[in-house]
Structure 1
Amino acid sequence: MVLGASGGIGAALTAALRADRNCSHLVALSRSRNGLDLADEESVAAAALNIAPGEGFDLIFNAAGILEANGAAPEKAFKDIDAAAMMRAFAVNATGTALAFKYFLPLLKRNGRSAFATLSARVGSIGDNRLGGWMSYRASKAALNQIVRCAAIEETRRNKNSIVVALHPGTIQTPLTRKYARGRYTASTETCARDLLGVLARLTPEQSGGFFDYAGEAVPW
């Protein structure tokens, strides 16, 4: 299952999984196509109720998220903080991820290896923050990372072979990054999808609850 399947990375993940001969069943959900809005609990609950998981999903990937909340650019200084925009960033990136876990984590299979991955960002790392700025985005992603950690602990109690992780995709060529990347792209969406799925394939249950980049390297909290 891919959540946020119409975005740049989400669409690439969906295409990669559809092309995978080992993927026999794929559910792709997005706000534009299915009305899935992670900031709206009713829509998340309704989306989950409409899914028949059978024996459960092997993989659920949450690719939904926002950078510009309410159209506001990332802050350069605290004088630029807009409370409504900051709350919107948390509603989608942090609370939205918690709702994704609440309603979709139970759809993972209960036996054998399973994985739930969600996109985070290196700028959400407190230990790696050397430039400041971007407070709303940084803080919402840092909160997301903590939520991922909690979900991993809870899911391990249900299935010791489960993997729940936050993934940093790099700076990918998408509309979300166009105004801010300044040419410092690390990969196309297609390469990103291949890299992230490759990382997930190599991770072990002992690494559940971690934060990893597109090369499989651990990112500081």
Structure 2
Amino acid sequence: MGLSKPVTGTWPASAAVFGASGGIGAAFTRVLADRAVPVSAGSRGGDVPRHHLVAPFTFDLTDESSIAAAAARMADNPPELVLVASGALTLDDGTPPEKSYKAMDAAAMARALAVNTIGPALIAKHILPLMPRDRRFVFAVLSARVGSISDNRLGGWHSYRASKAALNMLVKNWAIELGRTHKLGAIVALHPGTVETRLSAPFQQGLPPGQLRMRRDAAQALVDVVMQVGPDQSGMLIGWDGEVIAP
């Protein structure tokens, strides 16, 4: 895929994870801290990994004022790596992804978009202005291969697919806009694969051997990917294995 050479030295000097209480977000936070990276770890209830390099903060993905407040606290020392690790396939009330267009419901679709698209967009709105213009940064969001229109061969999961496709488009938009002024930065979407988390739990049965990956392994792979991402990959959807996924 043409990733940049692995970064050496002390990059990133610091990181921030929005959604550090979730399976992948928590594992990502731990991997960074274990690699001696200070991490600001955000969640709604403050339940984040405990580590001497992890500083918790609270935010609500559906409350823009809480996101703005979190960004304001980072303004004096902005992170060089940001991961937005939010996402929902099955909604909090138990509503599963739709198998058919006949199951589409306006309220459920709105909730999926709020979590998978609008929330990350609001984080970008308040965090991207903090990103440096004179040095490298990476702003990454967790997305999914099923948000790829060209790769869609099964259909179904309408709200989830649509919300992730919209997120992928936003990532491309942000990359174009910031690319005019932030020549050293990159904004990417990441596909973590099928990971052993609450999100995938209802759909793990019957998976081919080896397809389900443990959280720590998935997080290490994603960290390795973002460590190599450069401006040439800005705007792309990249898999945990470094593969660029077509939109």
Taking the TM superposition and a 5 Å limit, the aligned residue runs for 1:68-87 are 68-69=90-91, 70-87=93-110
1:31 paired with 2:44, answer yes
1:97 paired with 2:97, answer no
Give the letter for the 1:3 counterpart: F
Give the % identical residues: 48
Give the letter for the 1:81 counterpart: M
Distance of 2:135 and 2:105 partners within structure 1 = 45
User: Aligned pair count?
Assistant: 218
- Look up the match of 2:18: 3
| Aligned with residue 80 of structure 2, among 41, 58, 63 | 58
State the 1:93 CA deviation. 0.8
Give the letter for the 1:19 counterpart: D
Query: Deviation digits for residues 140-197 of structure 1, max 9, x if unmatched?
Result: 0000000111111122223101010001000000111110122534311101111011
- Residues 175-184 or 124-133, more deviating: 175-184
Give the letter for the 2:226 counterpart: L
Query: Deviation digits for residues 65-121 of structure 1, max 9, x if unmatched?
Result: 111234210101011111101001111111111101101112223321110010000
- Normalised to the residue count of structure 1, the TM-score between the two structures is 0.94
Give the letter for the 1:26 counterpart: V
Distance of 1:183 and 1:36 partners within structure 2 = 36
State the 1:52 CA deviation. 4.2
| Residue segments in structure 1 that go unaligned for 5+ positions in a row | none
- Look up the match of 2:151: 128
SS in 1 for 2:172: helix
| Residue segments in structure 2 that go unaligned for 5+ positions in a row | 1-15, 47-56
State the 1:6 CA deviation. 0.3
1:204 paired with 2:205, answer no
State the 1:26 CA deviation. 1.5
Give the letter for the 2:83 counterpart: F
